[in-house]
């Protein structure tokens, strides 16, 4: 079904890990994209990489979304935006515990400013980058979208819960506008070209960049945060999902809305592989798929870690027609290839 909307899409945070990979997928699906990224956590290197992969360029406005006046001027200059994918936010659980106000201000004030523009200008489609961290410690696995949300485990997770609630409340009073909330599980890996990938902000807190930096010699040794959990091998279980699969889900969600296939105007989808993998299993998969032995030790548990979480992704499969294409070996090989590319830059 053809839609009559302009194909001009605004990506906030296009200079980040998930934003840049989604940009590639949008370009490959014929969308015209414009970017707002204040480069506080993003890198122009990633936009350059996208241009190299797709031979398409994107204009970035280094505007802080917390600056309502600058954002208003931007939308005055670009009145033909038919969809927004909102990635721009801080996303470190640990940092959010250390600096809660930084997270509440940055992640929530920016979203309020953006949603005010969306409402005033009747922008028809809005996709919000949410996270499995809204689920906290779940009782029943796999976790489905209608699992009741507990009190969040961190200011970061709470900022995502607040964001979802703000959008749900707005959708109630904006029946003509369509919203989708995408809850990412653990995005890992890099584009097969290895020209774009994850650029950790300082010392990596996440497992996979720490693995690849250890393997390439940037880090001495990986510490596994606990192997005394009630799981099959004692280490925590997560749902790792290739960043390119996360990217394609955004394009499909946009097309889902533009083709008016949505049944409600604020639907939520889990973006996970549906498979739980333990830390020790992921390390083994890294070693087997790259041939690199990893130097690691077992250390103490990390505060705030949930024992196990993985997605029921049936809804995204059935409604968005989204089928994850990459397995754990692809995730590990692409992450490793990207680490090697960075080392040779």
Name the residues that contact ligand WQD, by CB under 6 A.
Answer: 91, 93, 131, 133, 184, 186, 205-207, 210, 222-225, 236, 238, 279, 302, 305
- Minimal CA–CA distance to 85: which of 150, 158, 36, 154? 36
Q: Which is nearer to ligand WQD, 266 or 283 (CB)?
A: 283
Q: Which of 156, 184, 240, 326 is catalytic?
A: 156
Q: How far apart are CA 268 and CA 99, in angstroms?
A: 28
Alpha helices in 174-264 (DSSP H): 207-215, 243-258
Alpha helices in the chain (DSSP H): 17-28, 44-54, 68-77, 93-98, 100-104, 110-120, 155-173, 207-215, 243-258, 279-290, 314-315, 328-343
Q: How far is the CB of 222 from ligand WQD (least distance, A)?
A: 6
Residue 68 near residue 62, CB atoms below 8 Å? no
Q: Which is nearer to ligand WQD, 51 or 205 (CB)?
A: 205
Residue 273 near residue 319, CB atoms below 8 Å? no
| SS3 label, residue 11 | strand
Q: How far is the CB of 141 from ligand WQD (least distance, A)?
A: 14
Q: How far is the CB of 255 from ligand WQD (least distance, A)?
A: 24
Q: Which is nearer to ligand WQD, 190 or 279 (CB)?
A: 279
- How large is the greatest C-alpha to C-alpha distance in the chain, in angstroms? 56
Q: How far is the CB of 4 from ligand WQD (least distance, A)?
A: 34
326 among known catalytic residues: no
- Minimal CA–CA distance to 165: which of 260, 266, 237, 261? 266
Residues constituting the chain: 345
Q: Which is nearer to ligand WQD, 93 or 174 (CB)?
A: 93
Instruction: List active site positions.
Output: 156
């Amino acid at each position: 079904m053809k839609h009559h909307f302009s194909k001009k899409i605004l990506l906030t945070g296009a200079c980040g890990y998930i934003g840049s990979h989604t940009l590639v997928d949008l370009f490959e699906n014929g969308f015209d994209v414009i970017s707002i990224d204040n480069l506080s956590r993003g890198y122009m290197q990633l936009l350059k990489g996208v241009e190299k992969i797709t031979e398409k360029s994107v204009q970035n406005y280094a505007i802080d979304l917390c600056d309502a006046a600058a954002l208003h001027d931007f939308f005055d200059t670009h009145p033909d935006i038919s969809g927004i994918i909102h990635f721009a936010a801080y996303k470190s659980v640990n940092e959010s515990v250390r600096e809660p106000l930084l997270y509440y201000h940055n992640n929530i004030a920016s979203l309020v400013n953006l949603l005010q523009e969306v409402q005033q200008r009747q922008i028809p489609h809005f996709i919000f980058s949410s996270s499995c961290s809204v689920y906290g410690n779940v009782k029943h696995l796999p976790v489905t979208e209608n699992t009741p949300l507990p009190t969040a485990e961190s200011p970061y997770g709470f900022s995502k819960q607040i964001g979802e609630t703000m959008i749900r409340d707005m959708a109630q009073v904006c029946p003509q506008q369509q919203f989708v909330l995408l809850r990412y599980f653990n995005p890992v890996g890099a584009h097969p070209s290895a020209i774009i990938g994850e650029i950790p902000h300082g010392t990596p807190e996440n497992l996979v960049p720490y693995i690849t930096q250890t393997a390439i010699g940037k880090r001495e040794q990986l510490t596994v945060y606990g192997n005394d959990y009630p799981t099959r091998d004692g280490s925590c279980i997560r749902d790792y999902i290739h960043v390119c699969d996360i990217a394609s889900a955004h394009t499909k969600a946009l097309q889902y809305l533009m083709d008016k296939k949505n049944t409600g105007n604020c639907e939520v989808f889990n973006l996970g592989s549906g498979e739980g993998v333990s830390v020790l299993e992921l390390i083994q998969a890294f070693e087997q798929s790259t041939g690199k032995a990893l130097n690691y030790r077992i250390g103490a548990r990390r505060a705030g870690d949930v024992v196990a979480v993985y997605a029921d992704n049936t809804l995204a499969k059935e409604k968005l027609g989204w089928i994850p294409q990459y397995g754990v070996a692809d995730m590990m090989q692409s992450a490793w290839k990207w680490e090697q590319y960075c080392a040779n830059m």
